[in-house]
Structure 1
Amino acid sequence: MMEEAELCFPQLLNVSCKKRTYAHSEKMFIYIVLSSMSLLTASLNLLVIISISHFRQLHTPTNLLLLSLAVSDFLVGLFVTPFHILLIEPCWFLGDLVCVMYYFLSFITVYASVLNMVLISVDRYVAICDPLHYPTRITQNRVQICVVLFWVYSVFYSFMLLHDNLIQPGRYNSCYGECVINVVGAVGIVLVFIIPVSTIIILYVRVFVVAVSQARAMRSHIAAVTLQRSVTVTVKKSEMKAARNLGVVVAVFLMCYCLYFCVTVSGSDHTIGSPTEVFSSFLIFLNSCLNPVIYAFLYPWFRKSVKLIVTLEILQPNSCMINVL
C-alpha cells in the first residue's frame, strides 16, 4: 500500500512513474514566484501590445519590433509559465499531447524572442550607421514582412525539432505520469543561440562605436551649427537615445539567455523540477517580465499610454490620435 501511494497511477503498478518529492517550503516558494511572475508578465506585455497597436503615433518600424517582442513575452506569461508550474507537480496528468504542445509553444516563443532581438539590432545598426538611408531601407511594410517570416520560421523550426514527438506524443516517456521530449540539442544551440547572439553582439558593438564617434563630433561642432544643422543634430540624438534604450533591452536579453543556454549545455541535472532546470527556466520567464518594466523606465510614451489605458480614455472617440510622444 505504501508503494502504491507513491505511484502516479496506483492502478498501473508496473508502468506508473513514482511521485517526485519536494520540501513543502521550496514547493510553495516556487509556486508563489512563478505565479506572480506569470500574472505580471502577461499584464505588462498586454499593456505594451495595446499601446503600440492603438496609438497611431507609435506605428513606427522600431515599435513594430517591440510589439512583436511583446507578443512573444505575453505568450510566455499567459501559457508557458503556468504550464511550467504544472510540470513541477509530482506527476503529469494532462496527457502526452498537452505535454508536447507545451514544449512546442515554448520553443516558438523562445525562438521568436531571439529573432526579434536580431531584428531590433539590425534596425538600430541601420539607424545609427546609415541614417540617410534608414527611412528607405527600414520601412513599415518591410518590417511587417520580416516579423511575419520570422514567426513562421519559429513555428516551422519548432515543428522540425519536435517532429517525432508531435507524430507520436509520449514516445520518449519511460513510464506513465511524466512529460519528456527529445530534440537535437547541438543544432538548436547553433541556430538559436550561437549565430543569433553573435550577430546581435557584432551589430551592437558597431552601433556603440559609431554612436561614440558621432557624439564626439557633435560636441566639437556644437558651437558653430546652423538652424538646419541643429535639426540634424537633434535627429541624431534621438536615434542614439533609441539605440541606448534598446541596448538596455538587448543587454538584459543576452544576460538571461546566455545564462540559460550555458546552464542547458553544462551537463548538469536538467530534469523537470531539478534546481538547475527551475533556475534556467526562471531566467527565460524573468526576461519576458523585465522587458515591459524597462520600457516603463526608459520610454515616456509607454508611461503615458498606460495612464490612458488604465483610465479608459482609449475608449473615447479618436483616442488613437492622442499625442503620446
Structure 2
Amino acid sequence: MSTEIFDSTTELATTMKKLNDTKETSFWWEIFDYFQVTVTISGFLANILTMVTLIKSARRFSRLIKILLQHQSLVDACVCASATALILQPNMWLPGNIIGDHLICYVWHSQAAYWGLVCLSSYNLVLIALERYLAICRPFAHTRCSECSRKRLSRYSAWLYAFCLFSTHGCYFLTRLTNGQCESTPAFGGEWVTPYFTALVIFTYIMTYLIPALTMMLLYSMLGHQLRKRKEIFELGQSETIDRATDQLTKTAVTVTIIFILSVGYDLHYFLFGYNLHVIEYTIGSPVQKVGVFLSNLNSVVNPFVYASFMPIYRKCVIETICPRKAKTEVSNITSLRDMRNSTATIA
C-alpha cells in the first residue's frame, strides 16, 4: 500500500514538474514573440522612412539604383508587416467560409506568402549586386539599363514576381485543411509524397537561397577585383567625390548581402535538414522554425540601418525628410568646399 502511494506521489510530482517546465518555456517564448514584434515593427517603420526618403531625395541617386533601393524597401516593409501579423494572429485561425479557409490555410498559414516576399527580397539584392557590377565594371551597359523605359521595367518586374512565385510554390503544400481546421501537415498523402517533398525542399533551397547567394558572391568578387585594379590607376576619369560615393554604396550592398547569407540561410538549412535528412524535427511554429523566421525578418529589418551606417548622404537625406527646416539650416551653414561636395554628391 505504501509503495503504491509512493509511486502515485512520484508520478504526480513528475507531472507537476513537466507542467511547470511547459509554463516556463511558454513564458519565455511569449517574451521572444514580443521582442520579435518590436523588431519587425521597427523594421517596417524604418523601411517606410527609407522609401519616403528615396522618393523625396531622388536627385541624389542615379535612376536605376534609386528604383532598386525603393523596391527593396517596399518588399522589406511587406516582409516585416507579414511577420508581425503571423506572430500576433491566433494559431491557425480561419475566417469560416470555404474560399477564405482555403486561401488562408494554403497561402497564409503555410507561410507561402511570407517566403515569397523573402524570395523577392533576395532576388532584388541580386539585382542590386548586378547594378553595382555594371556601374563599376560595365559602365556603358549600365547606362543603357538606366535608360530603359518604365514600360520595360514594369515588364521585367512582372517576370521577377512570377519567378519568385514559382520558386516558392512548394510552400503551398505544407499545410492541410481538414474538417474546417488548418493543420501543419503535408497537403497530400500517398507513397509518392516523400520523394516529392524531398525534391521540393531541395528545389526551394536552391532557388531561394543557394542561387542568390552564389550569384551575389560571384558578382561582388569580380567587382572587388575591378576596384583593386582601379585603385592602382591614378587618373580614373571620375571625380574624387563620385568615386567616394560609389565606394560607399558598394560597401553597403556587400554588407547587406553578407547579412542575407547569414540570416536567411539559417532557416533554409534547417528546412533542408529537417525534411530530407530528418536530423531535426522541423514543423511550422516549432522553436527552431520560430528562430529561423526571426533571423529572416532580421534580414529585412536591418537594411535601412545599414544604409545609414555606410552612406553619409543617406543620413543627410533622412534628416531632410524628418526635419526639413533643420536640414536647410545645416546646408546654409556649410562653408567648406569638401563638405559641400560630400553633401551634394550623386550616388553613381
- For normalisation by structure 1, the TM-score amounts to 0.75
- Max Rg structure: 2
Kindly indicate whether residue 253 of structure 2 is the aligned counterpart of residue 246 of structure 1: yes
In structure 2, the CA distance between the partners of 1:192 and 1:291, relative to structure 1 (3 Å rule), is same
Residue from 128, 150, 153 that aligns with 1:120: 128
Residue 312 of structure 1, CA deviation: 6.5
Q: Any unmatched runs of 5+ in structure 1? A: 1-20, 314-322
Question: What is the match of residue 99 of structure 1?
Answer: 105
Write the deviation string for residues 170-191 of structure 1: whole angstroms up to 9, x where unpaired: 6365993645555621221122
Residue from 16, 22, 26 that aligns with 2:28: 26
Q: Residue 84 of structure 1 aligns to a residue in which SS?
A: helix
Instruction: Report if the CA contact (8 A) 2:105-2:176 is conserved.
Output: no
Residue 206 of structure 1, CA deviation: 0.9
Question: What is the match of residue 198 of structure 1?
Answer: 214
Write the deviation string for residues 280-305 of structure 1: whole angstroms up to 9, x where unpaired: 11110111111111011122233223
In structure 2, the CA distance between the partners of 1:66 and 1:82, relative to structure 1 (3 Å rule), is same
Residue 237 of structure 1, CA deviation: 4.3
Question: What is the match of residue 277 of structure 1?
Answer: 289
Q: Residue 302 of structure 2 aligns to a residue in which SS?
A: helix
Paired amino acid for 1:37: V
Instruction: Report if the CA contact (8 A) 2:106-2:173 is conserved.
Output: no
Question: What is the match of residue 255 of structure 1?
Answer: 262
Kindly indicate whether residue 311 of structure 2 is the aligned counterpart of residue 295 of structure 1: no
Residue 161 of structure 1, CA deviation: 3.2
- For normalisation by structure 2, the TM-score amounts to 0.70
Instruction: Report if the CA contact (8 A) 1:111-1:154 is conserved.
Output: yes
In structure 2, the CA distance between the partners of 1:46 and 1:181, relative to structure 1 (3 Å rule), is farther
Q: Any unmatched runs of 5+ in structure 2? A: 1-21, 96-100, 188-196, 275-279, 326-342
Provide the rounded CA distance (Å) in 2 between the counterparts of 1:134 and 1:93. 48
Question: What is the match of residue 226 of structure 2?
Answer: 210
Instruction: Report if the CA contact (8 A) 2:47-2:304 is conserved.
Output: yes
Provide the rounded CA distance (Å) in 1 between the counterparts of 2:158 and 2:261. 23
Provide the rounded CA distance (Å) in 1 between the counterparts of 2:219 and 2:178. 42
Write the deviation string for residues 77-111 of structure 1: whole angstroms up to 9, x where unpaired: 1123321343xx6x423354323332232122011
Question: Counterparts of 1:145-160 in structure 2 under 5 Å?
Answer: 145-158=155-168, 160=169
Q: Percent identity?
A: 20
Indicate the RMSD between aligned Cα atoms, in angstroms: 3.1
Runs of 4+ in 1 over 4 A off after TM superposition: 142-145, 162-165, 172-175, 179-183
Provide the rounded CA distance (Å) in 2 between the counterparts of 1:301 and 1:188. 38
Paired amino acid for 1:185: V
In structure 2, the CA distance between the partners of 1:155 and 1:177, relative to structure 1 (3 Å rule), is closer
Comparing 69-78 and 53-62, the one that deviates more: 53-62
Provide the rounded CA distance (Å) in 2 between the counterparts of 1:40 and 1:52. 18
